[in-house]
Amino acid sequence: MRRRVVVTGVGLITPLGTGNKPTWEGICEGRSGIRRIQKFDPSQLKTQIAGEVLDFDPSAFMDLREIKRSDLFIQYAVAATKIALEDAGLEITEDISPSVGTIIGSGIGGMDTYYKTVLVMEGRGPGRVSPFFIPNIIANMAAGYVSIYFNAKGPNSCTTTACAASAHAIGYAAMAIERGDADVMIAGGTEAPIIPVTIAGFNSMKAISTRNDEPHRASRPFDRDRDGFVIGEGAGILILEELEFAKKRGARIYAEIVGCGMSGDAYHITAPSLDGPVRCMRSALRNGNLNPEDVDYINAHGTSTPQNDINETRAIKEVFGEHAYRLAVSSTKSMTGHLLGAAGGIEAAFTALALYHGIIPPTINLENPEPECDLDYVPNQAREAPIKVALSNSFGFGGTNVTLAFKRFDG
């Protein structure tokens, strides 16, 4: 029998604020974290808006020497982990350290360092390239720093599967606990992609919104007038524990992870297929010993792109049949933007918090629903509801899909 896995802590750094309180309050209030880019002058770009983290002070989480040596995506991971461990009331002592692991995903790693280093080398020559360049750009260094900072000596790994990265990390972390490789896992994702070349690349793909005059209305999943996703940054970390380990120390439990489904589209590098998400959700239900009728809420991938929103809606209908019209579906990307490799981490946290508090996050900016998007997307206002089972979907470029299944923990 596999061991049971519960969520005991969350750590959130999002465009809605640094920390769990401002982020969750913003989600429940239906507040947008999208605004004009402030990190640099975006005036030459077609897209000039993003979900930036504006209140982040790394010195509250790391010493100044390490801040100077580390990329922002690493700093976000360390900070979110500290928040999550404090939220869980967990201290990683020497006696439990070997049984505490770390899996943190990132879609693209240290892009800010990469971009700035290329400019330095072009302008000042190769001798000016920092010795910390390589450690700063490789995606697994977020997990590496977290392991070192918090003395986590268990499994240490990274997932780099585009927009599914942190959902993969959480799924694999849960499996590590289930099979006894760890008692505690620090899992989730981090991303700091807001630099000119990233924006320009997504513009070339015609993937991101250019609604520069109305930033707060730009991310509008399932709405007929959507014109692409809005890029965001931040981190979402969960503390996962084996149930008896958590109960023994009297931990507060947000939710139980009961299933994880994964699939590959084998179809296209960027366009979604219907088959992949359908098999992914069905796998999560089967893995969690759940019937479709058991599910009350789905935190959708919901990117606000024309293809994804229709495709995900079709997939939900295929999996759930008539029950699709009785469950709630919402996209929190309408408020945070799309955090790429960190998206699944913050959205898994939102799903666990929704179960714990009995509050379904809304899909804001849903004013004129796409005709094919005819489910209950919890438009514009959060809803109180006694949720028992919820799914969180994450789909990534390359045709990689993850669905996490959560259950309310009733003891």
Catalytic residue of the set 168, 260, 338, 373: 338
Catalytic residue of the set 158, 163, 260, 373: 163
* DSSP-assigned beta bridge partners for residue 36: 49
**Which residues, in sequence order, are CB contacts of 36 under 8 Å at separation 6+?**
42, 48, 49, 212, 215
Phi (first) and psi of residue 381, to 5 degrees: -140, 135
Catalytic residue of the set 28, 158, 168, 301: 301
Distance of alpha carbon 291 from its chain centroid, rounded? 25
Phi (first) and psi of residue 194, to 5 degrees: -85, 85
Measured distance CA(97)–CA(118) in Å, rounded: 38
For residue 109, is it left (φ>0), alpha (ψ between -120 and 50) or beta? left
Paired tokens of 133: 């360049």
Is-catalytic flag, 338? yes
Closest CA to 235 of 288, 166, 315: 166
Measured distance CA(201)–CA(197) in Å, rounded: 6
Is-catalytic flag, 163? yes
Largest CA distance in the chain: 64
DSSP 173-233: HHHHHHTTS-SEEEEEEEE---SHHHHHHHHHTT-B---TT-GGGT--TTBTT---B-BB-
Angle, helices 343-357 vs 20-29, to 10°: value is 70
Q: How far lies 398's CA from each of 160, 271, 313, in Å?
A: 11, 8, 20
DSSP 313-358: HHHHHHHHGGGGGTSEEE-THHHH-B-GGGHHHHHHHHHHHHHHHT
Which sequence positions are flagged as catalytic? 163, 301, 338
